[in-house]
Amino acid sequence: MTSPTTHSPPAEIKSRLGAILRSTSGNFLEQFDFFLFGFYATAISKAFFPPGNDTNALLLTFTTFWLGALMRPVGAIFLGAYIDRIGRRKGLIVTLAIMAMGTIFIAVCPTYASIGIAAPIIVLIGRLLQGFSAGVELGGVSVYLFEIATPGKKGFYTSFQSASQQVAIFVAAVIGFVLSEILPADAITAWGWRIPFFIGCIIVPFIFVLRRTLEETPAFLAMKKHPSPSETFAAAALNWRIIFWGMMMVAMTTVTFYFVTVYTPTFGKNVLKLSNSDALIVTVFVAISNFIWLPIGGALSDRIGRKPVLLASAGLSLLTAYPLLSWLVSAPSFSKMMIVELLLSFFYGIYNGAMVVALTEIVPAHVRTTCFSLAYALAAALFGTFTPLAATWLIDRTGDKASPGFWLMFAAASGLVATLTIYRGGKAMATREAVPA
């Protein structure tokens, strides 16, 4: 199978700003829920898992968080093929519906004390639905933004896929801060943690309205032929090397992101023994920092190229991750945590701003959503969403509170090796577009 030929491009998108807001709205909901699950992990562990050992309950909570992420590759394959077949607009509406179901399951689930083992099962089902949807949500949005971008600004446009997530982190952290100020800690642990999840449920209808008015991309409409699911799977299998190295390239960004956002509140409260307010304030500033650096990283890669941006930011992270955390845990304080998290945010923002467009460019155009989503989903499932569990386990096993730095260093090394492999000889790795008979 060869890439489909195209007609003259259809009419351009009427408003690119409007298209960015509509397409990234689902990203907002996804990351809003992901952050809440991480921030309220301690309360969720007490609500839905057997009482007893607090560390075991927290590990079970993060395991549930990770198991949901293992559904991402499944969603990437099946929903990705669906979007490549029927269009970006319709596909993004479907992913939003599935994601909303998962959010509702977690928000209304009774506690372990009320229904026993059924409680963690219901929460797990909710996380599986969220993971299945998230498997293609990021890819679908990234491809959409890539296809509506003006020439020479692909990196800048696609960076708003990740930037929209930072708005979600900001809003969720602000809500958490307000709740921590007006409710006692016992009330938040008992029932207050559900309030932000209910807020997420309330905004779902508004996001549906935005998604329904989304225009299809001219690039998709210009295609003469859209691949069937079997053709999509065949093309993805043929390009497994690109998907693998794309996954390793994404590992750097997804591990760092989940560390500085989802895991930071738990790290601040349980490991560094800082207050809830301190951890949330740091998270708010991290979200702002991410939002600033992401488009800068994308625009910088438009100007000087993807490879140098990726290598520089991954290299800095590799050299500094463990020393930074060692300095932080030696004498924990609010100011030191803020400095360390903002530095990690800088590495993440610059790297990811270039990485998303780089991955979009190297995957085959006719199955772009499937291949992008599969690479991203595998990285998120195997590395990114595993980060809270890995960090908790490393600290518990080694007794070294800075040991999560080794996990960050591994991710940075993966990004370096993948970038050098993909851009070997100064040219991006070539896709294979013809399926042998």
pLDDT at 139 over 70: yes
CA distances from 309 to 133, 287, 346, 348, 364 (A): 30, 21, 12, 11, 23
Residues 105-117 pLDDT 10s = 888 889 888 898 8
Q: What is the pLDDT at residue 426?
A: 62
Q: How confident is the model at residue 429 (pLDDT cuts 50, 70, 90)?
A: low
At 80, is the secondary structure helix, strand, or coil? helix
The predicted structure's pLDDT at residue 180: 82
Query: Average per-residue pLDDT in the chain?
Result: 82
Residues 391, 401: Cα–Cα separation, whole Å: 9
- Quick one: pLDDT at residue 425? 67
- Of the ranges 35-39, 211-215, 346-350, 387-391, which is most confident? 346-350
Q: Which residue has the higher pLDDT, 94 or 242?
A: 242
Query: Tokens standing for 341?
Result: 């998290």
Whole-number Å distance between alpha carbons of 401 and 357: 35
pLDDT at 41 over 50: yes
The mean-pLDDT minimum among 86-100, 237-251, 361-375 falls in 86-100
pLDDT for position 1? 36
DSSP 382-397: IIITTHHHHHHHHHHH
pLDDT at 189: 82
Residue 256 above 70 pLDDT? yes
pLDDT tens sequence across 335-375: 999 999 999 999 999 999 999 999 988 888 777 778 888 89
Q: Using alpha carbons only, what angle is made at residue 272 by residues 271 and 276, rounded to the nearest 5 degrees?
A: 95
